[in-house]
Structure 1
Amino acid sequence: MNALTAISLASPDLATAWFRDVIAAERNALSRFLRQPMAEVSDIVALLAHQARPIVLMGVGKSGHVAAKLAATFSSLGTAALFVNAAEAAHGDLGAVEAGSVVIILSNSGATDEIVRVMPLLKARGCTLVGIIGRAHSPLARAVDHCIVAAVECEADHIGMAPTSSTTLHLAIGDALAVAVSRARGFTREDFLRHHPAGLLGRQLIPVSSLMCQGDAIPKVATATSLVDLLAVMSSKRMGAACVVDPDDHLLGLIVDGDVRRHIQAGGDVQAASAGAMMQPRPQVIGLDATVGDVLLMRGNGAKRWLVLPVVDDAGRLCGLLHTNDLMQG
């Protein structure tokens, strides 16, 4: 066992303190950056927002990893982007860079050899160069057309050498640019979902009308329906619920299994019980033109938890019934 391990085992809170110190140092780097002038930002956002060609992000090492992530973020938010590793650029990957492209260069030192070597090649292609650079008076900061100086006082690790505070700051700046450009382009939530056709994100575009039960499959009853007949409808339709409607199918209320149990447990007259007496009036509903994403957003905004959700048209007529399990279909 080395001395460091012995210290950590002898002091259970020490590891937590080290952990918090890193988070605090990276937070301080972000706070310090926000206090500096940002004269270049609006010009850079406008430049990126008007690009028809894919934006190129370039870096090496840890900055390269950040650049690759940012290329994915730009693309997800509606701005086509690609990552080029500067170390590979001089060995053929420069072919991915179209003439006249905007290239965003990430470098903490501002003197990364691999990037310095390709700068003349990028300029020869008529590229506009944007830098996220850690040192204001470095070769790369002087060479780019637009520069965001992303300096940190120190890295967050205990020896002050590992890219930590600097990569966090560069990542945050890149994210901020991607979001600002996306907003400038009028990119919407629906656009975002169309960029993510797989998994839960993709399912959010599915209309509820394609998942809901409808027609004869909807468990629906009148207000005067007896408890015995209500239970027969609920059992046959296997939704654990029934919608209460008027003769024109306008939704009046909703009954779930729990409503029936509570009525019986409260000592209600089982023989005289009617659907109208047990229903929840004015239940939560969703519109016929809604998507799964709208339903999930409603749930995320603190709406009451539900097992089934009636789907109604603009006139309040019942069109279908959506079960919570249906959200995971498609």
Structure 2
Amino acid sequence: MNALANVRAGRADLSAGWFSRVIAAERDALSAFLAAPPEGVADVVALLAAQRQPVILTGIGKSAHVAAKLAATFSSLGTPALFVNAAEAAHGDLGAIAAGSTVIALSNSGSTDEILRILPLLRARSCTLVGIVGRRDTPLARAVDHLIPAEVAAEADHLGMAPTASTTLHLAIGDALAVAVSRTRGFTREDFLAHHPAGLLGRRAIPVRAIMRRGEDVPRVSPHTDLVDLLAIMSAKRMGAACVLGDDDLLTGIVVDGDVRRHLQAGPQVKGVKAADLMQTAPVTLPADATIGDALLMREGAQAGWLVLPVVDAAGRLEGMVHAHDLFG
């Protein structure tokens, strides 16, 4: 019987609860750390927040993978960081580490030869050393300037040997440092979006003005526009709505398809019906300096479900109109 058949027959480790046990063990490692957080973390945050050159993260094996991810997270959140593999550092990659850098070394054993070998070289460069170390009474734990003990009772795998609970804890500590440093530096949502120019994150930073319909493409009517003309304008502009404007292009209201349908369902009256009779007098709007990210937040929040949004200036004058489809390119 093949492996898939074993799973289907309920004879895999999943049936013995190992899947849940691993997650529970990693959760317990995080909970134990939170129950007695180490002293000195605030000093590490202050140290990293004051850096004027990239923070260096290093490790070996699975810790190297965690260190590489953390370097990316620090950089993403406004603290420039580089990953240097400890094994490669002694073969030339030390050239990436500037004098006076802060180096964060990750090691569960605290006795990793590749890291210990480069410590004197880092000291010679006046580097400040931070250790996220799984064992306190070890060469690395004793050598660093700032120690964050990251001890776990046991690894989460069935052998108790594979880096699982320990790497999860190290990753969480590093993420927490990156976020705390970012907050200390005053890194903003706008800064974050500027660091992510590609994909949906990058699109969120685009000003609404860059994608909104404007000029003749915006369906505009007055409060006195009758229903037949209103429908003709809404159909021609293909926005499913029309902005109702008063004097000086001040937005008075909005009429959407649903407003017209509800009126017609209530009775067949068409003659004498004006835009003012159908419009929503307090429409949701976007300020002219809004970004696509702002519009998406509104769509996800209290104003969820909107399809069109008028864009207005500080005085309430219409500048354009955004359709929900425009937000996604």
User: Could you say which TM-score interval applies, normalised by the shorter chain?
Assistant: over 0.9
Q: Which residue in 2 is equivalent to 1:112?
A: 112
Deviations 1:16-59 (A, max 9, x none): 83222222111111110012242110111111111111110001
**Comparing 101-110 and 240-249, the one that deviates more:** 240-249
Q: Which residue in 1 is equivalent to 2:289?
A: 289
How many angstroms does 1:14 deviate by? 4.1
How many angstroms does 1:6 deviate by? 4.3
The one-letter code sitting in structure 2 at the alignment partner of 1:263 is H
Aligned residue pairs total 329
C-alpha change, 1:269 and 1:8, in structure 2 (3 Å) is closer
CA distance in 2, matches of 1:209, 1:37: 47
The one-letter code sitting in structure 2 at the alignment partner of 1:165 is A
How many angstroms does 1:273 deviate by? 2.3
Counterparts of 1:270-281 in structure 2, within 5 Å, are 270-281=270-281
How many angstroms does 1:115 deviate by? 0.8
CA distance in 2, matches of 1:7, 1:293: 44
Q: Which residue in 2 is equivalent to 1:325?
A: 325
Q: Which residue in 1 is equivalent to 2:121?
A: 121
Q: Is the 8 A contact 1:74 1:80 kept in 2?
A: yes
CA distance in 1, matches of 2:169, 2:301: 31
The one-letter code sitting in structure 2 at the alignment partner of 1:71 is A
CA distance in 1, matches of 2:276, 2:12: 61
**Comparing 206-215 and 122-131, the one that deviates more:** 206-215
Q: Which residue in 1 is equivalent to 2:132?
A: 132
What TM-score do the two structures reach when normalised by structure 2? 0.95
CA distance in 2, matches of 1:111, 1:13: 33
C-alpha change, 1:321 and 1:16, in structure 2 (3 Å) is farther
Q: Which residue in 2 is equivalent to 1:179?
A: 179
CA distance in 2, matches of 1:15, 1:65: 30
Q: Is the 8 A contact 2:77 2:187 kept in 1?
A: yes
Q: Which residue in 2 is equivalent to 1:217?
A: 217
Counterparts of 1:217-236 in structure 2, within 5 Å, are 217-236=217-236
When the two chains are superposed, the root-mean-square deviation of aligned CA atoms in Å is: 1.9
CA distance in 2, matches of 1:7, 1:242: 58
Give the gaps of 5 or more residues in structure 2: none
Deviations 1:280-308 (A, max 9, x none): 22111111111111111222323231111
Classify the secondary structure of the residue corresponding to 1:281.
Answer: coil
Q: Which residue in 1 is equivalent to 2:31?
A: 31
C-alpha change, 1:90 and 1:322, in structure 2 (3 Å) is same
CA distance in 1, matches of 2:314, 2:42: 43
Q: Is the 8 A contact 1:57 1:103 kept in 2?
A: yes
Q: Percent same amino acid among aligned pairs?
A: 66
CA distance in 2, matches of 1:145, 1:305: 53
How many angstroms does 1:229 deviate by? 0.2
Classify the secondary structure of the residue corresponding to 1:187.
Answer: coil
Q: Is the 8 A contact 1:101 1:128 kept in 2?
A: yes
CA distance in 2, matches of 1:234, 1:4: 57
The one-letter code sitting in structure 1 at the alignment partner of 2:140 is L
**Comparing 105-114 and 290-299, the one that deviates more:** 290-299
Q: Is the 8 A contact 2:38 2:149 kept in 1?
A: no
CA distance in 1, matches of 2:141, 2:8: 42
Counterparts of 1:181-196 in structure 2, within 5 Å, are 181-196=181-196
Counterparts of 1:71-150 in structure 2, within 5 Å, are 71-150=71-150
Deviations 1:58-89 (A, max 9, x none): 01111000000000000011111000001111
CA distance in 2, matches of 1:111, 1:188: 39
Q: Is the 8 A contact 1:8 1:15 kept in 2?
A: no
The one-letter code sitting in structure 2 at the alignment partner of 1:27 is R
C-alpha change, 1:14 and 1:199, in structure 2 (3 Å) is closer
C-alpha change, 1:2 and 1:325, in structure 2 (3 Å) is closer
CA distance in 1, matches of 2:207, 2:53: 33
How many angstroms does 1:252 deviate by? 1.8
The one-letter code sitting in structure 2 at the alignment partner of 1:211 is I
Q: Is the 8 A contact 1:136 1:149 kept in 2?
A: yes
CA distance in 1, matches of 2:194, 2:63: 29
Q: Is the 8 A contact 2:243 2:251 kept in 1?
A: yes
Deviations 1:181-205 (A, max 9, x none): 1111111111111111111111122
Deviations 1:304-328 (A, max 9, x none): 3111101111121211111112112
Q: Is the 8 A contact 1:8 1:14 kept in 2?
A: no
**Comparing 287-296 and 16-25, the one that deviates more:** 16-25
**Comparing 233-242 and 162-171, the one that deviates more:** 233-242
